[in-house]
Amino acid sequence: MGAIYLVRHGQASFGAENYDQLSPLGMEQTRLLGEWQRACELPLSKVVIGPARRHAQSAEHFQSGSQTRHAPLLIPGLNEFDHEQVLYRYRPDLREKAALAAYLATTANPRRAFQDLFAVAVERWLSGEFDEEYAESWPSFQQRCWKGLHQIIEQAGPSQDIWVFTSGGPITAIAQQLLTIPDSHIFNLNWSLVNAGVTRLLYSGNRLSLSYLNNHAHLEQHRRAELVTYR
């Protein structure tokens, strides 16, 4: 039996010109995950990344902590959905980053304001009523992520322990398939995923099961509240 550890990337640079890079905290989160993997002597056969910069950086800092040297395998199907398009299809007036930043600056809690705005935008995307407006519909995204997962399994062979660095969206889509959660509720799971949290799958032949979801004991053990982030 093999295992696949789906890791959500460390905290990215929310509010920066380039979101797609780890914040200093995100670097620490993924390094601590690597230290935990090494301390617990969890096996590691292969490292896989999605195509985003934050995926590659997460794998890099993880391997720094775990003291391993695996050349990552790139799986494009494990990329995140286009969250910027999902947002501006709902609010075209906020398409420009300057406009979004100006809007958030008027709120008491920009992170909370963005989350509330984005949640409504995601509901619109999930509804299926506006699929023609998006480059990738929710069903297409689900299929892409599922194919990416099976690509990993096909290339790995039996009894491998594979650490995969991706985003919350692909982890959500994969967990949905395994837990049969309806679309109307699936992003309740997504919002709960912690940066550098781990979801473990077991595979054997054609069988695939969920072992655990969103484990972040490697962060909680340090008793520092700031280590546990969701965006």
Rounded Cα–Cα distance for residues 131 and 94 (Å): 20
Residue in the structure block whose two tokens are 């322990």: 161
Domain CATH number, residue 17: 3.40.50.1240
Rounded Cα–Cα distance for residues 33 and 25 (Å): 12
The DSSP code for 20 is S
Q: Give tens-digit pLDDT for 85-100.
A: 999 999 999 998 889 8
Residues 152, 45: one domain? yes
Residues 104, 206: one domain? no
Q: Give tens-digit pLDDT for 65-118.
A: 999 999 999 999 999 999 999 999 999 999 988 898 899 899 999 888 998 999
pLDDT for 17 equals: 65
Domain edge (last residue) among 120, 135, 150:
135
Radius of gyration, CA atoms only, the chain: 17
Q: What is this structure's pTM? A: 0.93
| Structural domain count of the chain | 2
The DSSP code for 45 is -
Rounded Cα–Cα distance for residues 165 and 70 (Å): 13
Residues 14, 124: one domain? no
Q: Provide long-range contacts, Cβ within 8 A and 24+ apart, for 106-115.
A: 110/15, 111/14, 111/231, 114/14, 114/231, 115/191, 115/231
